[in-house]
A and B are shown apart, each in its own frame.
Chain A
Amino acid sequence: MSEEPKPTEETRASAEQTRASADAGTGGAVAEAAAPEVWHRVHPLTPILESIGVLVGIVIAAAYSLQNFFQSAVEDLANGKSVDLTFAGWLRTHPLVILAVVGGIILILLLTAFFSWLAWRVMGYRVDDEAIYYRRGLLSKKLRKARLDRVQSIDLQQKLLPRMLGMAELVFDVAGGTDSNISLKYLSKKRAEELRDELLRTVRTKKQQGAEAHTHAPAPEGGSAASAQAARGPAAASPTAETPGTPVAPAAGGLGDEPESGVDRSVPERGDDSLGVRLTKRLGAMADGVSSEAEGSLGDLLAPYHLAPSIGEEGEIIRVPVHRVVVASLLKTETLISVIVVLAVITAAIVMLALGIKEAFIPILVGVLPGVFAAFSVFRKNLDNANFVVRLGESGLAVNHGLFSTSRKVIPLDRIQAVCLHQPLLWRWAGWWQAEYNIASDSSDKDSNLLLPVGDVDQALLMVGLALPDPQLPEGVAADTLVRSAMYDRKSTHPQAADAEALFHGQPRSSRILDPLVWRRRAYALTGSLLVLRLGALDRRVDFVPHVRVQSLRYHQGPLMRARGLGTVSVHSTAGPIHPTVTHQSDEDAKRFFIEHAERTRIARQRFDAAAKTAPGGREDER
């Protein structure tokens, strides 16, 4: 403890600053300490909240041993013996032991409090023009730095306990690799919100300046120094080849380098942009996100889907209530199977008990417990999507979700590579659908790919419509007809359903041996900008892949398929829940699709990129 802080505030603060900059090796370079650095404290309860797990563990351990004692005591009483009090008796004769134990506990508590206090004094954050810094750690010091022009999103997260105490953490998502996030915890909720709004504003202006400096446009008045800084920013931040081998495309190594939250507005609206991106760009062009205007352009863009979306308070377009998430997650096929298994095991145990085999009863029930816990944790994870609220903002689609702990994120519309709709078997009676997406990023969280956890057909159409480009359908077929036809196959009752059905290429009859259940349902359809795949007989599924997002294609034919004259083509998308595959088409069709789709996607991509280059004000060197 030689490093213990000095008594007076100022000297201590400055001493820590120098120490922090000395330790900067862990967190990157620190700006020179020319300007006075102001370190803000986090909430004093933070160390306790962070070590809450240990405390809970201790309490549980204590409770467990106490329970053991009571259990044996009760058993002894039930058996008519007197309770075994030899230990208590021994204690009574040695009062010093009790004193020592109590004293020890108090000492430990005091020490904990003291070290928590020390730890709290070292925790802090600082914001300057360039970056946000976060430091912590009493013995091993950590200083993390996030450059403001590289911050992708700022999420406000509230876990259960902090939430009960009115506290929140701010998570800064920084471009570049996994584990580059800074989690600033904990602040009072009000302070966290203020800080987030303030920083979001700074980040946005920084990025805009960066984009403008990038296009060599004149810097906006009021902040030439700042814009000069920002101009340095993107230059330094310009993606470098981080991969082995021969870097073909440094600029296309956009994995994680594209602006993630919000939408890159430096590229003008393009026909093959997803509708959500176009909408955001339009909203950005408006003076202020006036709700009626926004609603107008939303309805305008989604016209092919025949939807009349309404925009609620603060641009809210979708809200998934808690009860629907609960029911939906109970009706998922996985949940159902685990419930059936657990019930079966319990029934078996009871039957065995009835037959007089008592020894097996308890072990079986204990054996079931992990299964129950697993099912429960899955269920709890699903509950995390309760109160799923999608808001239309000027930076894109912002999502709030969580029941006990709330978190916020932004759906990166301009980086969505593929979308799928999914309906587990039992969701049919409710008519619910789930929507997920693939994204261009290597750090893909498992469950962060949700576009819509559960929703009715209209909500599903709305989210899918926003995530996909205008489908560019032939005259006489509306987009919603096509999607409904893909969802419900021939059962779609829509008046134009026959026309839409004509767009689908089903699997030939010879495939029915390989796909006895799904061969009738599986089909693909091509529109001007999309590949639509209809999949899944029991768990219905529809995949959408925009032509401009296709990476590569693969044709495959095994001996069995050759015997039936069939071929399969996989469409390669980025990592995520969607692996689009055109299965078991007739051999010739598959080969034709393979060659033609390669051409189709390439041309679509060229048009898409050309639109960005030729349009006035477009970034010339972009992509």
Chain B
Amino acid sequence: MNRDLSFSIGADVPFNRVSPKYGLKEVLASLTLLIPMLIVALVFAIIFTADVPWLHLIWAAILVYGIISTIIILRQARAIGYAEREDDLLIRRGIMFHKATVVPYGRLQFVDVDAGPIDRMFGLATVKLHTASAATDATIPGLPRAEADRLRDSLAGLGQANLAGL
């Protein structure tokens, strides 16, 4: 269960994982939509079971989709990794689609820490790095609140120290 699911990017650094609660949180977030759908489909299928028996297919499909997406989400959550290297921050994610982003500290414009309602239930937060480029998509989701604050302060300090012009 602790197998490293990530791909190797070629940099020889230890990657930090995000909080294990992040996977649960994502599953919960997706279930808030799926479960009502499942219930509605089930109710309809039971009411009309005599007339249109194939309605049972719908809730079955929703159920299968829910199970598969739960597995995928859990695996994806474990594949997210970030490494604070000496001069830049490296983020990698994805199992099917491998993605890695490197942001030099000197390029940081500002750092956001977001925590939505479900995030707060789990004590999590998302750290988002902004550079002058809109294309930079450097987001580390699912950090424990304390770690997120530490990362933000550390990044802010490193950014200040390595500050580069445009």
Contacts and interface: CB of A to CB of B under 8 A. Distances in A.
Partners in one complex: yes
Interface of A: 241, 243-249, 251-255, 258, 415, 417, 440, 549, 551-559, 562, 567, 570, 572-575, 579, 588, 591-592, 594-595, 598-599, 601-602, 605-606, 608-609, 612, 622-623
16 contacts: A248-B155, A248-B156, A249-B110, A249-B160, A249-B163, A252-B166, A258-B166, A552-B102, A554-B137, A555-B9, A556-B100, A557-B98, A573-B133, A575-B134, A595-B9, A601-B104
B106 A246 contact: no
Most chain A beta carbons < 10 A, residue from B10, B108, B112:
B10
Nearest to A438: B133
Most chain A beta carbons < 10 A, residue from B87, B101, B107, B133:
B133
A551 B9 contact: no
Nearest to A562: B98
A555 B156 CA distance: 24
B110 A552 contact: no
Contacts of B7: 557
A558 B152 contact: no
Given A246-B110, A570-B135, A572-B131, A602 B163 contact: no
A551 B136 contact: yes
A187 B133 CA distance: 39
A248 B101 contact: no
Given A246-B111, A595-B9, A602-B106, A552 B165 contact: no
A248 B113 CA distance: 13
Contact of A574 (B10, B87, B104, B132): B132
A258 B8 CA distance: 40
B21 interface: no
A254 B166 contact: yes
Interface residues of B, number: 44
Contact of B112 (A244, A549, A572, A579): A244
B88 A572 contact: no
A551 B132 CA distance: 7
Given A244-B112, A248-B108, A594 B132 contact: no
A533 to B, nearest CB: 15
Contacts of A602: 87-88, 104, 106
Given A551-B136, A555-B100, 19 more contacts: A243-B110, A244-B112, A245-B130, A246-B112, A252-B165, A255-B166, A258-B166, A440-B166, A552-B103, A552-B131, A552-B136, A553-B101, A554-B135, A555-B9, A573-B135, A595-B11, A602-B88, A608-B164, A623-B164
B109 A252 contact: yes
Most chain A beta carbons < 10 A, residue from B7, B132, B164:
B132
Contacts of B136: 551-552, 554, 572
A553 B36 CA distance: 41
A592 B102 contact: no
B159 A248 contact: yes
Interface in B79-132: 87-88, 96-104, 106-113, 128, 130-132
A608 B133 CA distance: 19
B53 to A, nearest CB: 37
A255 B109 CA distance: 10
B63 interface: no
B102 A594 contact: yes
Contacts of A258: 166
Interface in B137-165: 137-138, 152-153, 155-156, 159-160, 163-165
Contacts of B160: 248-249
A550 to B, nearest CB: 8
A599 B163 CA distance: 16
Contact of B96 (A241, A440, A549, A558): A558
B10 A595 contact: yes
Nearest to A598: B102
Contacts of A594: 9-10, 100, 102
Closest 3 interchain pairs by CB? A248-B159, A623-B165, A551-B133
B112 A245 contact: yes
Contacts of A575: 133-134
B132 A255 contact: yes
A579 B135 CA distance: 9
A252 B163 contact: yes
A605 B112 contact: no
Given A592-B10, A605-B164, A249 B98 contact: no
A612 B111 CA distance: 27
B134 to A, nearest CB: 6
A460 to B, nearest CB: 25
B163 A251 contact: yes
Contacts of B102: 552-554, 594-595, 598
A249 B156 CA distance: 8
A602 B8 CA distance: 22
Contacts of A245: 110-113, 128, 130
A67 B21 CA distance: 74
A609 B164 contact: yes
Given A258-B166, A440-B166, A623-B163, A246 B156 contact: yes
Given A254-B166, A605-B106, A574 B100 contact: no
A575 B133 CA distance: 6
A415 B153 CA distance: 29
Contacts of B109: 243, 248-249, 252-253
Contacts of A574: 132-134, 166
B145 to A, nearest CB: 15
Contact of A246 (B131, B152, B163): B152
Nearest to B91: A554
B99 A556 contact: yes
A8 B9 CA distance: 79
